[in-house]
Structure 1
Amino acid sequence: MKKPLKPLIGTVAAFLVAGATALGGAAPAQAAASADKSADKSVTAVNFAGTVALSNCSGSLVRMPGSTANDPALILSNGHCLETGMPGPGEVVLNRSSSRTFTLLNGSGSGVATLRANKIVYGAMTDTDVSIYQLNTTYASIQSRYGIAPLTIAATHPVQGTSIKVVSGYWKKIYSCSVDGFAYRLKEADWTFKDSVRYTSTCNVIGGTSGSPVVDASTGQVVAVNNTINESGETCTLDNPCEVDQNGAVTVRPGIGYAQETYGIPACFAAGNRFDLTLAGCTLPRP
């Protein structure tokens, strides 16, 4: 799971020492990202506007398809990036007070504002790996003051072969690749995720990219949230997720990264960005 170091889970525990390791590993990944940019002209359509940097992860200022300008603004990241610690299997964090801050970036990657949460709307690492914060301000206020609009979370399932960008506000780096396919189940240590997006190899994400929005390069909408990569070829261990198919067969893909789909999130929000797990069509895990 991709915290300041690398993937999902071990990164959290390693946070205090992760910074140096991640910095040491950033150069080759950055070179790969630069090469991807040169090869893929569509990268110019996606920039850093609306992404955020957390203290230990990446994230994005997001809206639902039905959100309005005067709704309270939302931040999307990973469940394993929560300041309260990683939720255990089956644990759901719901409507918990928070004063966490986020650095809002403009298109070129410069920080233009510090945004503050007033609560954790939702956080979980069961079936998915997601955290959603509510801010103490509205989209309209943010756009008026800083000229930054939110990214929209797509309400449709991502499609294999789609060109995507993983946009890290923590590292101010954009990774370019495609949706290679989907993992029926993705298992990492004690956590299991459902229907995960598998990247092609050029999205060789590093620590600190956890929580980055995965953006459809054609539509500019968020289709997933980046969360892990198999670092060393181990099977189903911390920082080494494995795929498990419908028949229980296990596949390990060293060096391949994954993200958690977000298309189901809009169904859990009513008018006014009011989060409600009981809404028809909302399938996020409940407490």
Structure 2
Amino acid sequence: MRKPLVASLFALVITGAGAAPAVAAPDPAAAPVKTAVGTLVDTANKTVADLAAPAVQAVNFAGTVSLSNCSGSVVRMPDSEDNDPALVMTNGHCLESGFPDAGEVVVDQASTRTFGLLNSAGTRVGTLRASKIAYGTMTDTDMAVYQLTTTYAQIKSTYGIDALVYDTARPTVGTAITVVSGYWKRTYSCAVDGYAYRLKEGDWTWKDSIRYTSACRTIGGTSGSPVLNDATGKVVGVNNTGNESGQRCTVNNPCEVDANGTVTVRQGINYAQQTWHVPACFGVDNKLDLSASGCILPKP
């Protein structure tokens, strides 16, 4: 059922939450491609010579997923087993139940949500289904992790696709990264420009957010996209927001707040939440354990 106009407009808040109903899908013939320097070009207005440069091949769409309103990815911890139930990561603001309130943490909530699984070329090859929301919040971070009804081994056997693996190291400034959107089947390449001590948007505040260099001009629908280290292909973050119109700390216009309380607004700059700490919160059989040593995710 299509959302009412007011709901659809509100769903645009934060990069991509519910943006799908409000914007048309791109014409495949005019879909952008990533060139060797990592920029996006419009193929509809380019000649063969313009597109002759080899494409960057460090990362692709394999393991990413499309949601009804956002992007996401099939993820695993470095020590996950093949027979563990697979997990899908997206943003907390992409939950089907709506945006969690500031301070709210969702744990082990039943869900039958479906996800479109993509192969390396960005073609949808199957549908995955959740059994529950293992974790979801918009406090300190903006992340949700769904547990699926299928294992990593079953996904590999059926579709030939491996899950993306979390990096347990904090990415350094200057790291080359790519944001891979399963919803738009589009990639955005740039680098880690720095970190926001606090990133404030409306009622929500996030800690130690990744700031992209200006080349990553993510749009509505890219919310929940994995941020991959180009050199390793590992997950270092989850794309979530950007300052659209230069406003200060409002919805769709996050501001940076440093340790001294100084506020900085960077219009046109986009952000992600770090994920290096996530594996510490999942144990044997991919079970969430918020009390585990090293787990710093907010608790209910």
TM-score exceeds 0.5: yes
Amino acid at match of 1:286: K
Separation in 2, partners of 1:90, 1:190 = 10
Q: Deviations over 1:190-228 (max 9, x none)?
A: 100000000000100000000000000001000000000
Report the aligned-residue RMSD.
Answer: 2.3
Alignment of 1:167-178 (within 5 A): 167-178=180-191
4+ long deviations beyond 6 Å: 38-42
Q: Deviations over 1:222-281 (max 9, x none)?
A: 000000010011010000000000000000000000000001100001111111101111
Q: Unaligned 5+ residue runs, structure 1?
A: none
Separation in 2, partners of 1:33, 1:98 = 35
TM-score (norm 2): 0.87
Give the counterpart of 2:95 among 63, 70, 82: 82
> Which structure has more helix as a fraction of its residues?
1
Alignment of 1:40-119 (within 5 A): 43-119=56-132
Give the counterpart of 1:153 among 163, 166, 172: 166
Higher Cα Rg, which structure: 2
Separation in 2, partners of 1:4, 1:135 = 29
TM-score (norm 1): 0.91
- Contact 1:7/1:206, CA 8 A, preserved across alignment: no
Q: Deviations over 1:38-82 (max 9, x none)?
A: 699783110000000000000000000110111000000000000
Separation in 2, partners of 1:100, 1:154 = 26
- Contact 1:6/1:228, CA 8 A, preserved across alignment: no
Separation in 1, partners of 2:37, 2:55 = 10
Give the counterpart of 1:18 among 14, 17, 22: 22
Report the equivalent of 2:3: none
Separation in 2, partners of 1:196, 1:117 = 27
Which stretch of the first structure deviates more once superposed, 37-46 or 269-278? 37-46
Q: Unaligned 5+ residue runs, structure 2?
A: 1-8, 41-52
Report the equivalent of 1:282: 295
Alignment of 1:111-150 (within 5 A): 111-150=124-163
Counting aligned pairs with the same residue, the percent is: 59
Report the equivalent of 1:246: 259
Q: How many residues align?
A: 278
Q: Provide closer, same or farther for how the CA distance between residues 205 and 35 of structure 1 changes in structure 2, counting only shifts above 3 A.
A: farther
